[in-house]
Structure 1
Amino acid sequence: MVKILILGTGSMAANHAVAFKAAPGASVVAAVETDAERRAAFGKEHGITNLFADLDAAIAWGEFDAATNVTPDAVHYATTMKLLAAGKHVFCEKPLATDYPHALEMAETAEAKGVINMVNLTYRNSPALQKARELVAAGKIGKIRHVEASYLQSWLVGKQWGDWRTESRWLWRLSEEHGSKGVLGDIGVHIVDFASFGADSDVTTVESRLKTFHKADGDQIGEYKLDANDSAIMMTEFANGAIGTITATRFATGHANDLTLLLFGTEGALEVKTDGKASSLKICTGADIDTQTWKPVECPPVVTTYERFVKACNSGVNGDPSFRRAAEIQRILDLCFDQDVARGKKIG
């Protein structure tokens, strides 16, 4: 039975608490939160009695085997490195770090320590994505030649999750000074993983364009400078020789939270769709190629990233996606950021 500490009690932490409490072979034994009021409320809501104001105190207490790191992105590196130094298994929210060098250091440290290390890339929980990868690996659509992947959100044009013009929980995501890496850093990590995992091949090279759109007078609301990227387009090449496009945007009117992946091979094609809750898979292969007929594929349920982490901790065999995988994705994102800087950023 792996004993888990929850580090941070933000909005995603409740999902972690519920998921780990329900996972066979795990128990949630402690939580860390700097804000006293939030700390007490979180403990009461989830039945956690061992509550700490800082990570150092929790580590000194030490009565836990693993931690799930749900702190803000910019804090992942420092907090995870403390946990690794203490020999704890770590399940970290995405992105693993805000840049590739730190992500790589985290991966190498975890591997050297021999502890379980995984990242919560939640769209791995899609049965359709898992089945698509299985079909690709089995050669059901031949050799992949072209890939199209997109992550479409619309909260900059709609209010389905609240009003970004007035709510700090959204405004910070639009401001580099407040730690945001824009749409690329927020959901780009998901769609790069989604595309390359489904294609069963890593992205090797990328040419990108990032765009920050004018959204308010002076491109600022209160203390928030609205300078983080809102849309991203990547032209990619994969290790298997395929080329493709990967896009992410917050201006996709009519799409709340939609991921799509199209894989075109020499003997067929696959279409994966998910909104994070429901997912679907279609295939066009065999005689259907000549009539452009797409047929649904049954996709059995899959275990979640949370359950895979628990299993890894109890078995001693690291699960996927690992820190190493997350670092490789961050390498691709860093290339995009570097290209944006070299091009000369402007808001328009």
Structure 2
Amino acid sequence: MAKILILGTGSMAVSHATAFAAAPNTELVAAVETDPARREAFGKQFGITELFADLESAIAWGGFDAVANVTPDAVHYPTTMRLLAAGKHVFCEKPLATSYPLALEMAETAEAKGVINMVNFTYRNSPALQKARELVMAGAIGDIRYFEASYLQSWLVSKAWGDWRTESRWLWRLSAQHGSKGVLGDVGVHIVDFASFAANSEVANIDSRLKTFHKAEGDKIGDYPLDVNDSAVMTAEFANGALGTISATRFATGHANDLTLRLFGTAGGLDVRTDGKVSSLKICEGPDIDSSSWKDVECPPVPTTYARFAKACNTGVNDEPTFRRAAEVQRILDLCFAQEAARALHAAAPVVTD
């Protein structure tokens, strides 16, 4: 039976703990949280008695096999590397690290240690996404030629989740000095994985634009400079030769949390949609191509990333998405950030004339 420690007890940790508590042959045995009140409340909520104020104390105790790392983004690297050194299996929240070199180091270390390593790309839980990949791999739509992928959120124009102007749980996501890398770093990681996973092909080339919009007087609220990207648009080419677009924004009015992917091949097309809870898949193939007709595709339930990690810990057989996969996605994001930095540097350079 896999014995799981939850590292960090924020809102996402509740999802992790709930899922692992329900997974077969899995037991929640410990949690780490620096805040005493949150630590105690989390322990009571999930019946966890082994509670620690820091990771080192938990490692010294040692009564766990695996860890769900639900710490802030910048903390993933140092905590995971310490856990890998201790020989623990790790299920890490996305993004794996804040840069490709760090993510690659994590992947290589986990592989060298021979421990289970997975990243919580939650939209892999979509039955429609998994079925779409299956159809692509079976050749149902032929060779992919074009694709469109988007991740649309509206919380900068909606109060469905609360008011970002007054709540620090949202404001930090708009501030670089508070650890945010904007919409690209937050949800861009999901849509890049979503699109390339379904297409069964890695991103080979990318050209991108990032945009930060004016949102408050002085572009600052309290201690939070509002300086990270709010929208991202990429023109991408897959290794299989397909050309298309990948985009993400927090200004998509009317879209709470919607991922859409359209794949067009030489023998048909696929339309994948999910809001993280409900997903759908349509196909246009065969005789329907001439009439531009689309049909619904039945998508059976699939195991969640949580369930697959638990199974991997119990069987010793690693599953997807691995640290290496997450590092590859981070490589693409780093290229986008580098392109935007180069563009800004060029724009700021003085004009030299003869």
Report the TM-score range of the alignment, normalised by the length of the smaller protein: over 0.9
Q: Within 5 Å, which residues of 2 pair with 1:189-268?
A: 189-268=189-268
Report runs of 4+ in structure 1 exceeding 6 Å deviation.
none
The alpha carbon displacement at 1:158 in A equals: 0.5
Per the TM alignment, residue 315 of structure 1 is displaced from its structure 2 partner at its CA by 1.0
3-state DSSP of counterpart to 2:177: helix
Q: Which residue in 1 is equivalent to 2:76?
A: 76
After superposition, residues 1-348 of structure 1 pair within 5 angstroms as 1-344=1-344
Distance in 1 (alpha carbons) for counterparts of 2:91 and 2:329: 17
Give the percent of matched residue pairs that are identical in Structure 1 and Structure 2.
Answer: 77
Q: 2:272 is aligned with what amino acid?
A: V
Cα deviation code 1:3-60 (max 9, x no counterpart)? 0000000110000111000001111100000011100000001100000000000000
Runs (5+) with no aligned partner, structure 1: none
SS at match of 1:98: coil
Q: Which amino acid in 2 is paired with 1:161?
A: W
Q: CA deviation at 1:148?
A: 0.4
Q: Please tell me the residue identity of whatever aligns with 1:200.
A: N
SS in 2 for 1:258: strand
Runs of 5+ in structure 2 lacking a partner?
348-354
How much does 1:242 deviate? 0.4
Question: In 2, Cα distance between the equivalents of 1:25 and 1:100?
Answer: 34
Secondary structure in 1 matching 2:319:
coil
Q: Distance in 1 between matches of 2:137 and 2:259?
A: 21
What residue identity is the alignment partner of 2:177? E
2:289 partner SS? helix
Q: What's the secondary structure of 1:318's corresponding residue?
A: coil
Shift of residue 80, structure 1, vs aligned partner: 0.2
Per-residue CA deviation, residues 263-315 of structure 1 (Å, 9 max, x unaligned), is 00000000000000000000000000000000000000000000000111111
C-alpha displacement of 1:155: 0.2
Whole-Å separation in 2 of the counterparts to 1:116 and 1:93: 14
CA-based RMSD of the aligned residues comes to 0.7
Q: Using the TM superposition, give the Cα deviation of residue 256 of structure 1 relative to its aligned residue in structure 2, in angstroms.
A: 0.3
Query: One-letter code of the match for 2:176?
Result: E
- Equivalent-residue separation in structure 2 for 1:213 and 1:68 (angstroms): 35
Q: Secondary structure at the match of 2:287?
A: helix
User: Secondary structure in 2 aligned to 1:235?
Assistant: strand
Matched to 1:39, the amino acid is R
1:303-328 deviation line (CA, Å, top 9, x unaligned): 00000001111111111000000000
Task: Give the whole-Å Cα distance in 2 for the aligned partners of 1:7 and 1:268.
Answer: 45
